[in-house]
Amino acid sequence: GADELTGTTPVAPTLAEGIAIPRPPRARQILRAVRDSGGTFLTVTEDQIRHAQLDLASRGLFVESTGVACWAAVREGALAGKSAAVPLCGAGLKSGLAHA
C-alpha cells in the first residue's frame, strides 16, 4: 500500500454505511496498526453482506448491515481455516434488510 494517504475515494451507496467513511479521522493510525500487526483490509460485496445477514438471521441473530460485513468476509473464507472472534453488533432494525 501507499506510504502516505492521498486523495479520497468516493463512497458508493452501501448496506454497510457505518464503515463507508471517505476520510476516516484516524486513517493514519488505522493504517499503521494494520501494517504493524501484519493485518490487511478486506472488501465484501453487497450480495455477500445480504447473504451473511440472512445467514445470521436464520440462526436467530438480527445484526445490522455494518456489523454483518465482518461475518460476510468470514463466510467467504477470510480466515483460511483459522479461528477468530467476530464481533456482531447493532440491532439490525435501522438498515439493510430491515428496509428492503
**Which pLDDT tens digit goes with each residue over 81-90?**
888 888 888 7
* Cα–Cα distance, 6 to 57 (Å, whole number): 39
Q: What is the DSSP string of 22-87?
A: SS-TTHHHHHHHHHHTT-------HHHHHHHHHHHHHTT----HHHHHHHHHHHTTTTTT------
In the predicted structure, residue 93 carries a pLDDT above the cut 70: no
* Cα–Cα distance, 71 to 40 (Å, whole number): 16
Q: 68: how many CB neighbours lie within 10 A of its CB?
A: 34
Grid cell of 45 as nine digits: 460485496
Instruction: Give the pLDDT confidence score for residue 58 in this predicted structure.
Output: 94
Instruction: Give the pLDDT confidence score for residue 51 in this predicted structure.
Output: 95
Tens of pLDDT, residues 17-74: 888 888 888 888 989 999 999 988 888 999 999 999 999 999 999 898 898 999 999 9
Q: Please name the residue that has the C-alpha cell 506510504.
A: 3
* Cα–Cα distance, 43 to 48 (Å, whole number): 10
